Amino acid sequence: MSAMEQLTEKPCVPCRGDEPAFTPAQIKEYKPQVPDWELVEENDVPRLRRAFKFKNFSEALTFTQKVGELAEEQGHHPAIITEWGKVTVTWWTHKIKGLHQNDFIMAAKTDKLYANLG
């Protein structure tokens, strides 16, 4: 089982806000498991971001809905921008203003959703 497959099997653990954000070393350890995700920083908060391509707005909207359903099921919610032919998903943990294992789990689960659309 690949590292990404292992992440997709893990559930998100509710974050109470007292967990520490991932250190740069932890981010470096987990990042290879979601290689298509870009590490970005906004307002001094590290985040995982990926743009997914689609043939049209309808497909992009369907994917957005599926990501939303996954987020509700796991209790962890991203920023999602839906455009014609493109959906950009950004994961980070709001309560700790940084990245947590949950963000990498959800990035892997989002990749799996995308792969299963085709």
The answer to whether position 62 is within a domain reads yes
Provide the domain count of the chain: 1
Domain extent, residue 82, equals 1-6+49-118
Mean pLDDT of the 96-102 span: 94
The answer to whether position 95 is within a domain reads yes
The answer to whether position 96 is within a domain reads yes
Residue 16: count of CB within 10 angstroms of its CB: 8
The answer to whether position 85 is within a domain reads yes
What pLDDT score does 80 carry?
Answer: 98
The answer to whether position 97 is within a domain reads yes
The answer to whether position 42 is within a domain reads no
The answer to whether position 35 is within a domain reads no
Q: What is the pTM of this model?
A: 0.92
- pLDDT of residue 40 exceeding 90: yes
The answer to whether position 94 is within a domain reads yes
Over the chain, what is the mean pLDDT?
A: 92
DSSP state letters, 42-99:
ETTEEEEEEEEE-SSHHHHHHHHHHHHHHHHHHT---EEEEETTEEEEEE-BGGGTB-
CATH code assigned at 107: 3.30.1360.20
